[in-house]
Structure 1
Amino acid sequence: MAAAADTYFVTLGMFIIDEFAFCDENGVETGKSVMPQIGGGGTYAAIGARIWLPPHDLGMIIDRGNDFPPSIQAKLSSYSSDNGMWLFRDHTDRGTTRALNSYRGDHRGFLAFILHRAVDLSELFFLFLFGMRITPRDLEGTRKARPRAMHFICSPARALEIIKEVREVDGWEPVMIFEPIPDRCIPEELPALIRALPSISVLSPNAEEALSLLSLPTDAVNKDVVEEAARQFLELGVGDGGRGCVIIRAGPLGAFVTTREKGGWWIDAFWTSEDARRIVDVTGAGNSFLGGLAAGLFETNGDVYKATFYASVSASFTIEQEGLPHLSNRPGGNSAIEIWNGDSPSRRLEELLKRHGSFA
């Protein structure tokens, strides 16, 4: 039997250093400059959970190359001073995985790459596809092995491989939170998703991804079509015996949460369309939402509806600036109180709950 997990939540998502280039609609450089920032879906998910839980309850593997900036190391340490949540794998023969976020007007392009010494294109392609994948096996033998909840961002076909590795560990039955990767949310992936669904505890695409997987029109996202997509995913058998949950993230519309037992509920986004000035960059919002959801499941003893309020609050801190939210400490009683972006997560949670009187 597997030993009891000391860690509650681990993400298998990647760590990436984001770089930026800005052009106008005609492709002319604008002169805007942004320093490299911490990125990667796994990082945003880890911080979404960190907003609620202490570092020792969390885990993420970071592949640290020979070019790892001290400023980024310091930023990571600000979330976990003893590095309790980070598992660093050092690579002296190559750089850290980076992504170029290229903006042409309002359109954003994305390209991930690895800085590596003297490699040809075929080797670089191999490294990107295989060398950087993080799997459940990578956790074995570490202090973050066999967490009680696990988040992964990948294609449905890749999810099947992750599920297989989990099943190979006797006695380990984590809550599995699956976030389909956007470019594989296509109808051709639906058969693989159907095979994976019985092992998935929480399935959470965003609205456009959900509709695309189900071959539904994506040109007019509204609450009715989101609810229909969620109903179809439930019918396809999310979770053991259909006891899983579907959460479709729909931006300013909020998130639709549904299970067979209790039906569907809409949970508001914390920042609405009326708060446009507070919304700076939505990059990583969905990832941090799901990290917050995992933390909420811990805090609410598995109540996925109440946990979604924690998720919405985590996303609210992520979209207030470019990059990750800022953590500081405020004196309070016998210990410091953690403050994010100058505000209290608990205060935001209470405010959001008040909007939904039935949950207060």
Structure 2
Amino acid sequence: MSTEIPNNSTFTSDIDFCTLGMFIIDEIEFEAPKPPVKNIIGGAGSYAVVGARMVAGREHSQSVSWIVDTGSDFPAEIRRIISSWDTACVLRESTERLTTRAWNGYGPNEKRDFRYLTPKIRLDHDALSESQVFSKTFHMVCSPARCCQIVEGILQRRNALLQSDKIDPSHAARRPIFVWEPVPDLCRAEELPMFYKALKHVDVVSPNDLELASMFGNKSWSLENSSDRAIADVIVKSGIGQDGNGLLVVRAGKDGSYAFSRNVSLHIPAYQGMNVVDPTGAGNSFLGALAQGLISIERTPTKLVASTLGKSDQWADIVGLWGEQGRIPAALICATVAASFVIQQVGMPQISRSEIGEELWNGQSYTERIRLYTKQLAETFENASKIQK
């Protein structure tokens, strides 16, 4: 049985973002004396949705879509939290199974161990509703082989629906944007041939720095190392996406993120001044926000970036260097700020409303944090300009 929060059974072409990442209920054990926690919303899909939802805002919350498989043990409190996000969430409910649960153990130096406690339910293109199939962007966390299968499957389903005359062709005027997060366990050298094949299917590929290093048999990755920079160059020059000019985004935790295309690169620093309680899910939220930001050029967060940084010659130069991909720098900023909310607590940031009805995450407006972050960047650009003079 499938239900939705809220009901979205009819076709709509207004889905901006859809993730095929999983929903998981986490149990987390920390190093003593920190006590363990249970019944925490987790899974790459859940975190990606929160990132996309922040960028979408309350006005466009229904443009964010995902699937949650619930079992007989699904907690009422988690149902309430999901409902509070007001997304186009498809609940596939069954009393004949358990909800996917996992154990996370943190040891010295934030070493993380992970294992499933109940059978996992993976999502693919066949799981999507007709509305979800016509999403403008997709987020995937999977192996290179599954990446190819999912992208091809989504495109085939779209074509079949268009040919059946069930869907207005105007709803699929453009190919969707595919954002791929390689599954960590398969970031290995022996997977490289399939990795390069998968790159042709997606528009954005985003391993974190350690995963990128592992693909090439290394223990770390740093842009300051010429051989590591060469790795990024090899990947983008191999051709990402249909036109070969897709995006490699390396997520590097406290060092921010690095974006590379064939002709230009960009470093976006992490949001500063945050007390990092738990980094789990920050990368997933970053990518959900990035996907949403790439198609939200005329909406408040990206317009705020432009208005705050618009007077900066350095920012104009950065956007100009990206040419037709000029929306990418602002989308990366939206992603960076979204990730900053996720690291503030164990589990999901808390959504609420101010006295005047403004949407808040952890007690602060997402757009206000965008403003603060871009103001910091503008000051950095100004100080750099003074030094150069």
- TM-score by length of structure 1 reads 0.84
Deviations 1:39-98 (A, max 9, x none): 000000000111121321010100001110111111111211xxx421000121111000
In structure 2, what is the Cα distance between the partners aligned to 1:251 and 1:241?
29
- Please say if residues 103 and 109 of structure 1, whose CA atoms lie closer than 8 Å, have aligned partners that are also in contact: yes
* Aligned pair partner of 2:246 in 244, 247, 254: 244
CA positional deviation for 1:236? 1.5
Matched residue, 2:143: 155
* Aligned pair partner of 2:372 in 348, 351, 354: 351
Indicate the SS of the match to 2:354: strand
Indicate the SS of the match to 2:92: strand
Mark the CA change 1:43 to 1:223 in structure 2 (over 3 Å): closer, same or farther. farther
Note if 1:166 corresponds to 2:166. no
Deviations 1:303-360 (A, max 9, x none): 112100000001000000110001111244xxx2111111121122122223433999
In structure 1, what is the Cα distance between the partners aligned to 2:288 and 2:381?
21
Q: Percent identity?
A: 35
Note if 1:75 corresponds to 2:81. yes
In structure 2, what is the Cα distance between the partners aligned to 1:322 and 1:100?
14
Structure 2 counterpart of 1:295, one-letter code: Q
In structure 1, what is the Cα distance between the partners aligned to 2:331 and 2:135?
18
Aligned residue-pair number: 325
- Please say if residues 133 and 154 of structure 2, whose CA atoms lie closer than 8 Å, have aligned partners that are also in contact: no
Matched residue, 1:294: 291
Note if 1:36 corresponds to 2:35. no
Mark the CA change 1:349 to 1:107 in structure 2 (over 3 Å): closer, same or farther. same
In structure 1, what is the Cα distance between the partners aligned to 2:30 and 2:358?
38
Mark the CA change 1:157 to 1:20 in structure 2 (over 3 Å): closer, same or farther. same
- Please say if residues 227 and 256 of structure 1, whose CA atoms lie closer than 8 Å, have aligned partners that are also in contact: no
**Backbone CA RMSD of aligned residues:** 2.3
Note if 1:13 corresponds to 2:21. yes
In structure 2, what is the Cα distance between the partners aligned to 1:34 and 1:246?
35
- Please say if residues 47 and 284 of structure 2, whose CA atoms lie closer than 8 Å, have aligned partners that are also in contact: yes
Q: Which moved more, 1:278-287 or 1:196-205?
A: 196-205
Mapping of 1:251-330 within 5 angstroms?
251-261=253-263, 263-271=264-272, 275=273, 278-300=275-297, 303-330=327-354
- Please say if residues 208 and 221 of structure 1, whose CA atoms lie closer than 8 Å, have aligned partners that are also in contact: no
In structure 2, what is the Cα distance between the partners aligned to 1:207 and 1:298?
26
Deviations 1:242-291 (A, max 9, x none): 12111111111111112224x001001113xxx3x611100001000001
CA positional deviation for 1:222? 4.6
- Please say if residues 210 and 221 of structure 2, whose CA atoms lie closer than 8 Å, have aligned partners that are also in contact: no
Matched residue, 1:118: none
Mark the CA change 1:147 to 1:220 in structure 2 (over 3 Å): closer, same or farther. closer
Q: Which moved more, 1:98-107 or 1:182-191?
A: 98-107
- Please say if residues 233 and 262 of structure 2, whose CA atoms lie closer than 8 Å, have aligned partners that are also in contact: no
Indicate the SS of the match to 1:241: coil
CA positional deviation for 1:33? 3.4
In structure 2, what is the Cα distance between the partners aligned to 1:8 and 1:56?
9
In structure 2, what is the Cα distance between the partners aligned to 1:220 and 1:245?
18
In structure 1, what is the Cα distance between the partners aligned to 2:224 and 2:255?
7
In structure 2, what is the Cα distance between the partners aligned to 1:340 and 1:227?
36
Note if 1:177 corresponds to 2:179. yes
In structure 2, what is the Cα distance between the partners aligned to 1:322 and 1:140?
31
CA positional deviation for 1:140? 3.2
Mark the CA change 1:256 to 1:31 in structure 2 (over 3 Å): closer, same or farther. closer
In structure 2, what is the Cα distance between the partners aligned to 1:31 and 1:185?
31
* Aligned pair partner of 1:139 in 128, 131, 146: 128
Indicate the SS of the match to 2:113: strand
Gaps of 5+ in 2: 1-10, 163-171, 299-324, 383-389
CA positional deviation for 1:208? 1.1
Gaps of 5+ in 1: 25-29, 115-126
Greater helix proportion: 2
Indicate the SS of the match to 1:283: coil
Matched residue, 1:338: 359
In structure 2, what is the Cα distance between the partners aligned to 1:200 and 1:297?
14
In structure 2, what is the Cα distance between the partners aligned to 1:23 and 1:317?
23
In structure 1, what is the Cα distance between the partners aligned to 2:381 and 2:372?
12
In structure 2, what is the Cα distance between the partners aligned to 1:359 and 1:260?
24
- Please say if residues 353 and 359 of structure 1, whose CA atoms lie closer than 8 Å, have aligned partners that are also in contact: no
Mark the CA change 1:22 to 1:212 in structure 2 (over 3 Å): closer, same or farther. closer
